[in-house]
Amino acid sequence: MLRPRRIRRARAGWRRRGQRGKDGSYACSSGRKGRFFLTTRAGPFPGATESQQTSGGARARRRWLLDRKKSRRSGAVGVRACETERAQEREGAHEDTRRTSRRVSELVDQGLVARGEMEALERVAERFSVAITPDLVDLVTPGDPNDPIAKQFLPSKRELRILPEERVDPIGDDPHTPVKGITHRYPDRLLLKPVHVCPAYCRFCFRREKVGPGSEVLSREELAAAIDYVRAHEEVWEVILSGGDPLILPPRKLAEITAALAAIPHVRILRVHTRVPVMDPGRIDAAMIAALHVPDLTTYVVLHTNHPRELGPKAREACTRIVDAGIPMLSQTVLLRGVNADAETLKALFRELVVLRVKPYYLHHGDLAVGTGHFRTSIAEGQSILRELRQNLSGIAQPTYVLDIPGGYGKVPIGPGYLGPEGEDGRRTVEDPWGRRHVYPPGSGKTGG
């Protein structure tokens, strides 16, 4: 029989071995192999709907416990429970108690997808993670087939169409993974991926086969090994926190990671890639800012955003908090057919970002991720859009159009060219933003005498 104090803690849904209070708000924060421990004989199980807590609750609980047991056997760390529980355990980040929608049936009930598509979408959800946060749901216009938020986050049966050229690892992370959690592709910088979970899941994600509930979170031992790798490679000047979304971690856990990196003398730059200011902006609170603002380490936050509609009042406030704290922000955008593959949409997005003091950094050509062909444009289409932006958009609002070469060969700029080949006399032709050609003299710098 449970003691009264233990019952109270079990009902609060946070009891974990070796932790105190809300510091234990995430599964990977402590415990053997990063696993968490929940009392399951009192109170609703994490993520239970109201109907599951009443009728059929015992049966639903048994299903949840079975899933958790299978997850542990496979070496995972209970990420599904982490995701659903964190709405109640986010260290006071904000007061929105609505739940993230993770099942196709929930999307149908909310009127976000048609009931007639449910069977096909269930097949999509079997392979690719599905989740959309309440803040994103607020941005969706139900029933609009062209809604840019819905297209990015709601599953589509078109994801079942797999093209021959598509790859599970489209940008070649695996060949550049010397230890778990590290991708070291370039000499002076590397990726550290402490978590493979996100608040919501983009339908075009290039790591879509590796992220989601049941994916691994680095244990303390694995994270220590990853940090040791960074420490041993003195050529590494910049560490890029990625995932998954690193800002899904509790601020205390994030602070442990950033402090460990700051203690490495040759690491001078920390770059944090995230969609949290858009997906779950309430997480950007004082504790999260403090975790990012580390002495002896220059931090940049890179916001992933693809449409001006994403920059609602909450997202704008989250970005303002980051920048006001002295943390510079950049942005990354993916060129997506049906979402932003036109100059007017991108111009509006990039201008709004600059107003928010976020510098547009990269415009990514769509990667060859499995089931994402309906999002990809041709490179020629992308170059045409960039030409139009060059005519109408300030230089501080223009990102670099880039392609990650499939197979892990690196990222290269693929924007339109304006400089013609050199002639026999050393002259070149150069094209201005409006397509007019001009002659440029040889660049020897020599003068007659």
Written as one letter, the residue type at 131 is A
The span from the CA of 333 to the CA of 408, in Å, is 20
Which is it for the CA torsion 192, 197, 202, 204, positive or negative? positive
- Specify whether the CB–CB gap between 278 and 315 falls below 8 A: yes
DSSP-derived 3-state class of residue 74? coil
The span from the CA of 366 to the CA of 406, in Å, is 11
The backbone torsions φ and ψ at residue 273, rounded to the nearest 5 degrees and listed phi first, read -95, 130
DSSP-derived 3-state class of residue 151? helix
> Where does residue 400 rank: exposed (0-12), middle (13-18), buried (19+ CB within 10 A)?
middle
Q: Token digits for 381?
A: 């289409």
Q: Quick one: the chain helix, strand, coil %, rounded to 5? A: 40, 15, 50
* CA angle, residues 100, 103, 109, in degrees to nearest 5: 85
Give me the active site residues, please.
Answer: 185-186, 189, 198, 202, 205, 207, 367, 404, 411
> Which one, of 225, 290, 277, lies nearest residue 248 by Cα?
277
DSSP alpha helices (H): ranges in 143-238? 148-153, 220-232
Rg (C-alpha) for the chain, rounded Å, is: 24
The span from the CA of 22 to the CA of 8, in Å, is 14
The span from the CA of 110 to the CA of 448, in Å, is 77
Going by C-beta distance under 8 Å and a sequence separation of 6 or more, which residues neighbour residue 9?
A: 15, 39
Q: Strand ranges (DSSP E) for 174-224?
A: 182-186, 189-192
The span from the CA of 131 to the CA of 124, in Å, is 12
> Which one, of 329, 311, 262, lies nearest residue 291 by Cα?
262
